[in-house]
Amino acid sequence: MSDFSSVLSPHEGEIHVIAAAQHIVKALGANKNLDDELRKILSQLDSHLSAMTVLTTESRGTGFREVEEQLKYAEEKIRGWESNQSLLWDSDEFDPLEASEFLKAIDEIQALIEGLRSLSVNGNRKQKELLNRADSILQMAMSRLEKETIHILVKHKQYFQPKNMSFRSCALDVLYDESFVSVEDIPSEEALQRNSREKESDEYIFDLVHPQVIPHLKSIANVMFGVNYGQEFCQAFIRVRRDALEEYLVILKVENFSIEDVLKMEWSSLNYEIKKWVRAMNIIIRYLASEKQLCDQILGDYGFVNPLCFVEISKGSLAHLLNFGEAIAMGTHEPEKLFRLLDMYEVVADNLLDIDALFSEEAGTAVRLEFHELLRSLGDSGRATFLKFGNAIAANASTRPFLGGGIHPLTKYVMNYIKTLTMYCNTLNVLLKDQEAADPNPVVEPENGQGVSSITHCQMACHFRSITATLESNLDSKSKLFKDGVLQHIFLMNNFHYMVRKVKSGELRLFFGDEWIKEHIVKYKQHAMSYERATWNSVLSFLKDGDSPGLCSASKAIRGFTIAFEEVYKNQTGWSIPDPELREDLQISTSQKVIHAYRSFMGRKSSSISEKYIRHSPDDLQNYILDLFNGSPRILHSSRKK
């Protein structure tokens, strides 16, 4: 709005100039094609010109009678609305004409104030009295507009509803302890949920206040800024919108924990809070894009005031999220925390460009820097946690052999852990780019340059192969706890087979490569053959001795074979081969070797063996072999009468 104070000095013909200006303004206002904003500006200009005419005339006389009359008229209008309990911009009773008259009265008062201050009669008692009175009336009107602003923002608030409110963490919890607390395969739907998770379109903006009241808010803002009450408008606007954002965090169930609270929290509770935090972070950034639009709509014409208000609205709630994230990054580096750390790192990284755009102005510099620092802290913590995971495998010691020689919990834990980590491949490759891994099974590029995935050569692949090599070394140490050397082979066969099955069954195959798989198939098959030789060669040796003249009679050979077989049965029914296919393969291999030898011997020596020494038929033995490796110790009773 132009400053017309210079024309208020008493010059010859200035009243005629003002009158001419008023005539032009009225002529322009009569144009039906004007938009509402321009029509409002012309109306305000007309009010100022009217005030100038009065003040110029009055300043040449001895009093301010007409000025006082105009002020009284404006005051009556302001006080009349002030005594009315209903609000001018109430949606049920909104009268555009009444609201316009209220704003026009404010403009008239401001014009009189500016005119009075510009007169050359400073020190005039009447002038000071009128100025104080006008200021008081203006302050009353501004107080009313603050209430109106708050009322509009609260009554017409709309709740943010993104297209997809559900956000699940990508990984199940992978836990380990010596009491066999472990997980099996990560359900495929969990992986699918993560792989199909798409960030909502940046173009999706929601109206946080009903669009129909935006012009009302802008009108109020224009009037309050026009009379130097912009700060009061901003304070009211910030207060309501800040409360709305904090209320939305409550809806998202995000609590305001101190750093000390987070560091003291039990993992089960902390794990739950992190999942909520990740989901909230993903949604709040979209919420803030809508909040930024609202600020632009209302305050976009006021330069640096707009980003300042947006930052004031946002920074309190963002501080809650930032403090929680920093507290997590400051925490200890237990391996079970890695997946949640990576979830947090990824959600910040995914939203960082949006954060930079939302807070691109100087007012938002601190917010931008805090999020970049949070990303760095989470990355450092994630890297340290991953490296500690490898060290924890090496340090995992046992004092007792694992019952039954089955798949050790550590093996399940490690393989499920790294299988889950494949979903974070890109992130971990970034975090570990400067961390060399001692890869005992480096992948050699074939001469034809084909058949090896680029993933097999990435940082994660090298670290995975290093981790499994550490696991193998640990398992070898654990196998030596078994007093029975044969059970050592069963234990290592089980665990190597489990590792191969995990690698072959999914994306881990791309990281390890076919050559690793072939080498480890050979390893578990070698242990299977070593088991067969160590167990059954000694049992079958009785039959070989029975075939050698002079060494052992046929009856004595059968008796020795039977005792040895029953001893194996008693021990090895309590041993465990959890994988049914592997168990069946070993049973079949054993059966072919043992039953064939037994049946052949019985056929050759049937005439020289006393019936009382034959306790089991070949078919009986075949059925007994099917009882082996089921993890339930049994004692074999004779199937024939002595």
- Residue 157 and residue 162: Cα distance in Å, rounded? 16
Tell me: the pLDDT tens digits for 559-581? 899 999 999 999 999 999 999 99
Nearest to 473 by CA among 525, 414, 429, 423: 414
Give, in order, the Cα–Cα distances in Å from 637 to each of 94, 556, 565: 97, 19, 12
Neighbour tally for 199: CB within 10 Å: 13
Once rounded to an integer, what is the mean pLDDT over residues 65-91? 75
Sign of CA dihedral 525, 506, 405, 520: positive
Instruction: For residue 434, give the amino acid letter.
Output: D
Tell me: the pLDDT tens digits for 123-133? 577 778 888 88
Specify the range with the lowest mean pLDDT, choosing from 170-184, 508-522, 594-608: 170-184
Residue 201 has pLDDT above 70, yes or no: no
Who contacts 32 (Cβ-Cβ below 8 Å, separation ≥6)?
none
Percent of the chain predicted with pLDDT > 90: 55
Position 195 scores a pLDDT of 45
Tell me: the pLDDT tens digits for 325-354? 999 999 999 998 999 999 999 999 999 999
Nearest to 609 by CA among 536, 556, 537, 535: 556
Residue 18 has pLDDT above 80, yes or no: no
Position 574 scores a pLDDT of 93
Instruction: Compare 145 and 201 and report the one with higher pLDDT.
Output: 145
Position 486 scores a pLDDT of 95
Is the distance from CB of 277 to CB of 255 less than 8 angstroms?
no
Residue 184 has pLDDT above 60, yes or no: no
Position 441 scores a pLDDT of 57
Instruction: Compare 15 and 420 and report the one with higher pLDDT.
Output: 420
Once rounded to an integer, what is the mean pLDDT over residues 92-97? 71
Residue 196 has pLDDT above 50, yes or no: no
Once rounded to an integer, what is the mean pLDDT over residues 257-261? 91
Residue with tokens 């669009």: 211
Residue 20 has pLDDT above 70, yes or no: no
Residue 42 has pLDDT above 60, yes or no: no
Residue 73 has pLDDT above 60, yes or no: yes
Position 603 scores a pLDDT of 84
Helix ranges restricted to H, 505-638: 508-547, 554-572, 580-605, 618-625
Look up residue 169 and give its two tokens.
Answer: 């963490």
pLDDT band with cut points at 50, 70 and 90 for residue 29: low
What global pTM score does this model have? 0.80
Position 32 scores a pLDDT of 57
Once rounded to an integer, what is the mean pLDDT over residues 375-381? 97
Once rounded to an integer, what is the mean pLDDT over residues 519-539? 95
Position 456 scores a pLDDT of 81
Nearest to 330 by CA among 373, 371, 381: 381
Position 449 scores a pLDDT of 46
Residue 150 has pLDDT above 50, yes or no: yes
pLDDT band with cut points at 50, 70 and 90 for residue 642: very low
pLDDT band with cut points at 50, 70 and 90 for residue 45: low
Tell me: the pLDDT tens digits for 533-561? 999 999 998 888 766 765 668 888 888 99
Alpha carbons within 13 A on the beta-carbon side of 181: 8
- Residue 433 and residue 460: Cα distance in Å, rounded? 9
pLDDT band with cut points at 50, 70 and 90 for residue 202: very low
Neighbour tally for 364: CB within 10 Å: 20
The alpha-carbon radius of gyration of the chain (Å, integer) is 43
How far is C-alpha 242 from the geometric centre of its chain's CA atoms? 23
